[in-house]
Amino acid sequence: MRFQLLVLLAITLFSTNFLFSEGKMDRPKYLITTYQKGEELGKIKIELYNDVAPKHVANFDSLVSIGFYDGTAFHRVIPGFMIQGGDPNSKDKPREMWGFGDPSQTTVPAEFSKLNHKRGIISAARKPDPNSATSQFFICVADAPHLNGQYSIFGEVIEGMEVVDKIVNMPRDNRDNPIDKVEMKIEKIK
């Protein structure tokens, strides 16, 4: 019995070490630098859950690699709930079109998990169809349990929630757009 426990422990340690050495447990990290009127507001460091939502993380990573997010805005801010950004329309289209996305964008199928929408969580924005996520994402500024199991969580803020709080409290119009555009630039850091 004792020998069997030792063998089981050795296998467990080897398996865990193998997973770490293969990079399966290594989560990618990104830096979102935010700007308003050409001035830097601050930086938000995020970690993505490639082990929970690999398709959403791969989509995000591919968009970051081509500079897609650079110049997009956090176009929707709701105190006590979240900030949303990543719509290509927010780069150069009229404010009335922000949030509607580009119908030619590739969609990502839902990857629901048992994780909870809590403060700092990053989740995929979508239309009513659960499989309609594209480039838009939101960061929760408070717990939002009503979203659990309904939206694909794919990461979290690991530094810079004070910047997220600053953004969510910006003066906004009747469509929850910040009055003064809050732009982003995203780069992969690990």
- The pLDDT value given to residue 20: 39
Please give the model's pTM, rounded to 2 decimal places. Answer: 0.87
CATH 3.40.50.1820 matches 27-188 = no
Domain spans of the chain, in order of start: 27-188
For residue 161, what are the CA distances in angstroms to 43, 59, 60, 139?
A: 9, 23, 20, 10
Q: In this predicted model, what pLDDT tens digit does every residue of 32-82 receive, in sequence order? A: 999 999 999 999 999 999 999 999 999 999 999 999 999 999 999 999 999
For residue 54, what are the CA distances in angstroms to 73, 131, 134, 141, 150?
A: 24, 14, 14, 24, 17
Residue in 115, 179, 102 with CA at minimum distance from that of residue 149: 115
